[in-house]
Homo-oligomer: A and B are copies of this chain.
Amino acid sequence: MSLIVQKYGGSSVADLDLIRGVARRSIAAKNEGHKVVVVLSAMKGETDRLIRLAKAASEDPDPRELDSLLSTGEQTSIALFALTCQSLGEKVKSFLGFQAGIATEGPHGKARIASIDPARIQTELAKGRMAVVAGFQGIGRGGDLTTLGRGGSDTTAVALAVALGADVCEIYTDVDGIYTTDPNVCSDARRMDRISYEEMLELASLGAKVMEIRSVELAMNYDLPIHVRHAHDPRDGTLICREDPSMEKTPVRGVTHSMNEARITLVRVRDEPGVAARILQVAAKAEIVVDVIVQNKSVGDGGLCTDLSFTVPAGEYSRTMALMSELTSELNAEAVVGDDQIAKVSIVGVGMRNHAGVAAKMFQALASEGINITMITTSEIKISCIIEKKYAELAVRALHDAFELARPPSGE
């Protein structure tokens, strides 16, 4: 017998028929002898509808009131789930964030879970009953309702699973697992049976939208396996778990791309200490997240100057260009040039640590398709290249092919 926390996203509980489907699934798991706790998001579209309503009431909605308003979304879905279970003959109680003992800290709209006292949930489990808990919400120190921000239901599920000492946290969604790359871009994309926390973190932050980063980090910290699976498909999905030797046999495990990038270059700034820091300082103050940074020494001027390039989210492009233009005279830069027609393609794999020649193979694969690389950045288990946007999909397919990701590795 295992203790399982199941989380269903908004598209899995979008109407009463879908709710009945997932209720049957949860009850089936319980009937197999498991202890089951269910965490739900709001019904699909409900959170957006509430945000529209709030914005119609106030141009700049107060975060405290918005949190209280948005909390009704999960309050509704868990009550309907409990009622549906009862109509199927199963006794289930629903618990709001505060009733499930989920205490938060930090600002409204992006609160963090500070602690969980799952006493009431444990009481239900001890009685042999299922419990359904509202995702995304908790209660702050002052007794106000808080929300964890978008994707927060994943965090609720993982944190609750940790607090309850669950064996696994199952994340039910509208895809059947984590793929070697985006199946919309590459028809050869293959669902992975297992992926390490570290790989998932790199994939998540690079644009694979299946799992929210915070919840993967939390699961990693407590060594809690996460099983990502399709809400309406009984087959196993992908297990996000601790790295194991079989994973390391393959140098590259996934390819991702992001179109949401823009590059800005300060041309021929003085090559002296503090320049890069100054640029990042200005960006940080404006709350602009700088991703890849590359500094190129300009040749032919005695090494006094350098070109400094960095990327920002495409949505921050014009704002960053304006800020950097203000800096040109201060930094004695010759010009500020920008490009929002870029993309980032990345390869990820824990096996990279002990396989040589991975980068060379990546560059070769891109070069053989005539794709020019303008920036490169690497981490221990990832290599990213900035390329022209129009080549993004071609690059993904070329890399997926070059590293033979369509073929299941021997370990799986």
Contacts and interface: CB of A to CB of B under 8 A. Distances in A.
A364 interface: no
Given A65-B86, A65-B94, A68-B94, A79 B54 contact: yes
B69 A76 contact: yes
A335 to B, nearest CB: 44
Contacts of A200: none
A319 interface: no
Contact of A19 (B19, B57, B71): B57
B87 A68 contact: no
Contact of A84 (B58, B87, B143): B58
Nearest to A54: B83
A93 interface: yes
Contacts of A94: 65, 68
Interface string A53-88: 110111101101110110110011011101110110
A99 interface: yes
Contacts of A16: 53, 56-57
A120 interface: yes
A120 B96 contact: no
A339 interface: no
Contacts of A233: none
A80 B66 CA distance: 9
A326 interface: no
B80 A62 contact: no
B57 A84 contact: yes
Contact of A69 (B75, B86, B93): B75
Contacts of A66: 79, 83
B64 A93 contact: yes
A69 B54 CA distance: 20
Given A54-B79, A120-B143, A144-B99, A86 B72 contact: no
B57 A83 contact: yes
B57 A87 contact: yes
A83 B99 contact: no
Contacts of A50: 76
Contact of A71 (B75, B82, B120): B75
Contacts of A120: 143
A145 B76 CA distance: 13
A127 to B, nearest CB: 14
A363 B120 CA distance: 63
B87 A59 contact: yes
Contacts of A59: 87
Contacts of A65: 79, 82-83, 86, 93-94
A145 B66 CA distance: 20
A21 to B, nearest CB: 13
A58 B89 CA distance: 10
A50 B77 CA distance: 11
A37 to B, nearest CB: 17
A-B interface, 4 closest residue pairs, ranked by CB to CB distance from nearest: A69-B79, A58-B87, A72-B72, A57-B83
10 contacts: A16-B53, A16-B56, A54-B79, A57-B84, A58-B87, A65-B94, A68-B96, A69-B76, A75-B75, A120-B143
Interface of A: 16, 19, 50, 53-54, 56-59, 61-62, 64-66, 68-69, 71-72, 75-76, 78-80, 82-84, 86-87, 93-94, 96, 99, 120, 143-145
